[in-house]
Structure 1
Amino acid sequence: MEGLHLTADLRGCAAALPPMTGVAALRALCLAAVAEVELQAVGELFHGFGTAATAAPGGSPPVTGGVTGVVLLAESHLAVHTWPERGAVTLDVYVCNLGADNGARAERLMQRLVAAFAPARVERQALRRGGAVEAA
């Protein structure tokens, strides 16, 4: 069990970007990015959090909620969470390296998604998981 787990916290993303509030837009972005880097999607679930029931204080229009999306990969997973009201997105890409090193694909997937949200600031983390395990 060896793999690469990448995370990115994006700040300063434009709330008006379609994937920030649109389930279909985030789904299309994620599935296209997965295909572009030649990873294999085997399942997916995307959920939108809708709009507030009433207008925000001051009579401004209701705030549109964010979207959470997960793509189950043959190689592991991709998870995306958007907060348009904060201009924030979190990304999580994990790939296993069983049979092939998928690290470069994971890096390209992360780069593609970060670029799509055009954040003002990005905080990235990378964790190498697994490795040689001794028998107990």
Structure 2
Amino acid sequence: MNGLHLTADLAGCANDALLTDGSGLARAVRAAAEAAGLSVVGEHWHRFPDAPDGQPGGITGMLLLAESHVALHTWPEIASVTLDVYVCNYEGDNSDKARALMAALAALFEPADARHHALVRGQLGAGAL
């Protein structure tokens, strides 16, 4: 059940159109997951309403993967995105696929600054479950 959990906080995103385009973002994330060799089994996306001052609302969404999930949240008011990619390595090591997906997603937004983190999960002994 071990796996790799990657997160990224992106700031100064030059591709600001993608921060508010729900259908375009959903297509791009799905295409990136499939290109990385991961299996999309479901998805859900939500675009938040525009603010009273007319500032466009952000998007939160996720892909359910056979290998686990991808989640993201856009913050158009501050040109930022948070990304979350988690893959399980039950039947094979999907770590390279997770890294490829994270790199593709981060590149989509063209951030001026990106903070990446990785956590190896599920390192439990055989008797722990």
Tell me the TM-score normalised to structure 1 length. 0.89
Provide the residue aligned with 1:98 in structure 2.
Answer: 90
Partner of 2:118: 126
Runs of 4+ deviating beyond 2 Å? 14-17
Distance 2:124 2:11 in 1: 36
Offset at 1:125? 0.3
Give the % identical residues: 49
What code does the residue aligned with 2:119 have?
A: L
TM-score normalised per structure 2 = 0.94
Give the CA deviation at 1:134.
Answer: 4.8
1: distance between equivalents of 2:95 and 2:15?
30
Runs of at least 5 residues in structure 2 that lack an aligned partner in the other structure = none
Separation in 2, partners of 1:15, 1:3 = 30
How many aligned positions are there?
128
Amino acid at match of 1:16: D
- Greater Cα radius of gyration, structure 1 or 2: 1
Q: Which whole-Å CA distance do the structure 2 matches of 1:43 and 1:92 have between them?
A: 16
Match runs of 1:20-99 below 5 Å: 20-52=19-51, 54=52, 56=53, 62-99=54-91
Unaligned segments of structure 1, at least 5 residues: 57-61
- Does the CA contact (< 8 Å) of 1:14 and 1:84 recur in 2? no
Task: Report the RMSD for the aligned CA atoms in angstroms.
Answer: 1.3
Call closer, same or farther: CA 1:97–1:134 in 2, change over 3 Å. closer
